[in-house]
Structure 1
Amino acid sequence: MDEEMDGFPGFDPTRDVMLSPSAMRGLVNPLRLRLLELLQADGPSTATELGRRVGQSTGVTSYHLRVLAQHGFIVEDEERGDDRDRWWRAVHRSTSFSFRVPGDPATTDTVDQAVQFIRLNVEASHRRALDWVDTLPSQVDELAAMPWTVSDWPLTLTHEQARTVVSAVRDLVTRFQRDPDTPSSDADAVRVHAQFQLFPEG
C-alpha cells in the first residue's frame, strides 16, 4: 500500500481510504455516493437533514445510511445523537479509487463493479458542471470577475509523465482541503468542486 500512496500526495491512510476493485461493495449506488460525499464535506448529520438535501424521504435516506454503515463507510455519531435523532459521520475524510492497489488487481469478477463505480462518479461530475453552466445567465453582472473555468488541454504524455501530472494536481488541490468541522474564516468562501480528469483518446 505504501507504494500506491506515493502517487497520491496529501493522502493520509489514517484519514482517507483508497478503494480497490473488490472493496467498493455498498457504494455502487448514486444516492449512497451522494450521502457519503455530504458527510465527508459537511460533517455529521441526520437522515432527516440529509434526506431534505437530496430530495428523499427520511425512510429512504435511513436505509441507504444503514447500508453505508454496514460496509464501514460511516458510523453513528453517538456524541451528537439522542432518542429522537440518530446522527451519522463519515469514517474517512475522503474516498478514492484505484486499479493499482497492491494485492487487489481488477479481475473479470470485479471489473464490472469498478466500471459502474467510475461511471457513477463521472456522471455526477458531468451533472455538477452542467448545473453550474445553467446558472450563468442569472449572473451576467458577475461573470467578468468569476475565477471558475472549464478547460481541456490536449497533451501527449508517457505513462510516467501522466503520473507526474496527476501527482502535481493532487498535491496542489489537497493544500486547500479543510476539516468540515472547521469553517472557513473568509466571508466570500464558497463550496467548489475541483474536477480533474486525465485519460487517453478512444
Structure 2
Amino acid sequence: MSELSPAEDRVVVDGSNLRGLAHPLRIRLLGRLRRHGRATASMLAKEFDTTSGVLSYHLRQLERYGFISEDTEHGNRRDRWWRANHRTTEFDPVSLEQQASGRLLNAEIVQRAVERLTEAAQSWPDWPDEWRPRFDVSDAMLVLTPEQAAELTDRFYALIKEYPLHRPDQAVPAGSRQVAVQLQLFLDDTGPR
C-alpha cells in the first residue's frame, strides 16, 4: 500500500467499509470534499446536478462507513456541512474479502482517474504559461519482477511524500497550485510473444 499520508490521515478500504464506496456518486463526492473542502448537501446537489435528497442519502452512507463527517464548526440545524475524514484512501485489490465489490470499486476509481486526466488535457491550452510545459502524460514499458514492481511503487510514493499534500482547509503557498499526480502500473503483455 502507498501510505502517502500518516495513519490518522488515511483510510484503508476493507470488507468493513467497502459498501460505503459502493456507488459511483459516493466516490465522486468523497473526491470533491477532499479536493475542494467542506460543503453542504444543497451545494453538492447543484455541483452534481442531482437532488438534495439523493445527495443527503449518499452523504449519510459515506458518514456511516467513516469516510466523511459533519463539520460542526460550520452550519446550523438547517444546513449541515460535510468534510472528508481522511486525505487519502488505500485500496488493496488483492484482498479476497474485496474481490466481488472490490472489482467494481476499482473500475470506478480507474474511470474517475481517466475523467480527471481527460479534463486536464482539455483545459491544458488555457493553463498559465509557466504551467503548460509541466503537463505530462508519459509511459514506459518496463520488464519487472513482482518485487521490482513493489520497489518501483515504494520509491514513487517515497518521492511524492517529500512534497506537501493538498489540504483544502489550508492556503496554497504563493506561486503554488494544486496538482494531481497519478501512477498506473499494470501488466501489459497481452499481445503476441
Q: TM-score range by the shorter chain?
A: 0.7 to 0.9
**Partner Cα separation in structure 1 for residue 127 and residue 101 of structure 2:** 42
Instruction: From the superposition, tell whether residues 58 and 118 of structure 1 become closer, same or farther in structure 2 (CA, over 3 Å).
Output: same
Q: Residue by residue, what CA displacement relative to the aligned partner does 1:105-156 show, whole Å, maximum 9, x if unpaired?
A: 315xx412000010001111111222222234x5499499420111111101
Counterpart of 1:66 in structure 2: which amino acid?
Answer: R
Aligned residue number for residue 48 of structure 2: 54
Match of 1:106 in 2: 96
Identity percentage over the alignment?
Answer: 32
Equivalents in 2 of 1:81, 1:58: separation in Å? 16
- Separation in 1, partners of 2:78, 2:113: 35
Q: Which residue of 2 aligns with 1:198?
A: 185
TM-score w.r.t. the length of structure 2 is 0.85
Secondary structure of the 2:108 match is: helix
What whole-Å deviation, never above 9, does each CA across 1:152-197 have from its counterpart, x for those lacking one?
Answer: 111011111111111111122232313321111224x333221110
Matched, 1:128 2:116: yes
Q: Are 1:179 and 2:173 matched, yes or no?
A: no
Which of 147, 150, 153 lines up with 1:166 in the alignment? 153
Which amino acid is 1:178 matched to?
A: H
Structure 1-normalised TM-score? Answer: 0.82
Note the alpha carbon deviations across 1:47-93, whole angstroms, 9 max, x for none. Answer: 12222222323222112101111222111111212122101112222
The equivalent position to 1:94 in structure 2, one of 80, 88, 93, is 88
The answer to whether the 8 Å contact 1:17/1:94 transfers is yes
Q: Among 15, 18, 33, which residue is 2:27 paired with? A: 33
Structure-2 change in CA distance of 1:20 and 1:99 (3 Å):
farther
Aligned residues: 188
Q: Which runs of 5+ in 2 are unaligned?
A: none
Q: Is residue 2:73 matched to residue 1:79? A: yes
**Structure 1: 5+ residue stretches without partners:** 1-6
| RMSD (Å), alpha carbons | 2.4
Shift of 1:21: 5.0
